[in-house]
Amino acid sequence: MPCEPDELLDFLKSRRSIRKFKPDPVPREVIEKILDTARFAPSARNSQPWRFIVVDDPSIKEQFANIHPWAQPLKNAPLGIVVVADKNTSPTSYLVDGANATIYIQLAAHALGLGTVWLQTLRNIEDIQRILNLPENLVPVAMLAVGYPDEQPKPKDRLPLEKLMYYNKYTP
């Protein structure tokens, strides 16, 4: 274990969605370090159906920022990453596999001092496929706005553990 277990747990709890970014570009070696880490996310049968599309072209980023009203954080982010998953490779589980890779990206970015926010893609699958020239089997699972944080949001409320957790059987 590279750090104390409690430190690691505190690190996991300290991630926040970041929607305001500094204009500083993210070096390519940092992007590649993050995506290299995402390769280690779990996937059904180790199918690794994910592919990562890094978007730094301002005109393409703009198209994504306008895809729905909640995608605006991409406007001021230096970078977008679209996580796509191949439904042919992992027919039952491509969405959860892709989600696993996405949270690995968010946590790896956080470890390197970058901020991210997950932006919904699942209502705009065909639009995103068209913009990125994706075949029908490559489904956009998430887009992330990525950059150096220019805000320090307070933690969002979380449900208390006692409302979430059961031993052995669910009790309504």
Ligand X SMILES: Cc1cc2nc3c(=O)[nH]c(=O)nc-3n(C[C@H](O)[C@H](O)[C@H](O)COP(=O)(O)O)c2cc1C
Asked if 50 interacts with ligand X (CB under 6 A), we say no
CB atoms near residue 161 (< 10 Å): 7
- Binding mask 56-85 toward ligand X (x if CB under 6 A, else -) reads --------------xx-x------------
Distance CA 129, CA 133 (A): 6
Binding status of residue 156 toward ligand X by CB under 6 A: yes
Instruction: Report the residue number, 89 or 118, with the smaller CB distance to ligand X.
Output: 118
Under DSSP, the state recorded for 17 is B
Least distance between ligand X and beta carbon 144 (Å): 10
Q: Is 123 in the site for ligand X (CB under 6 A)?
A: no
For ligand X, which stretch binds (CB under 6 A), given 22-30, 76-84, 89-97, 117-125?
117-125
Tokens 């409302």: give the residue. Answer: 163
Q: Which of 74, 85, 109, 117 binds ligand X (CB under 6 A)?
A: 117
Residue 75 burial (10 A CB sphere; 0-12, 13-18, 19+): middle
Q: Output 8 or 12, the one with its CB closest to ligand X.
A: 12
From residue 26, how far is each of 30, 73, 145, 160 by CA, in Å? 7, 16, 12, 36
Q: Which of 31, 41, 83, 119 binds ligand X (CB under 6 A)?
A: 119
H or E segment and range at residue 27: none
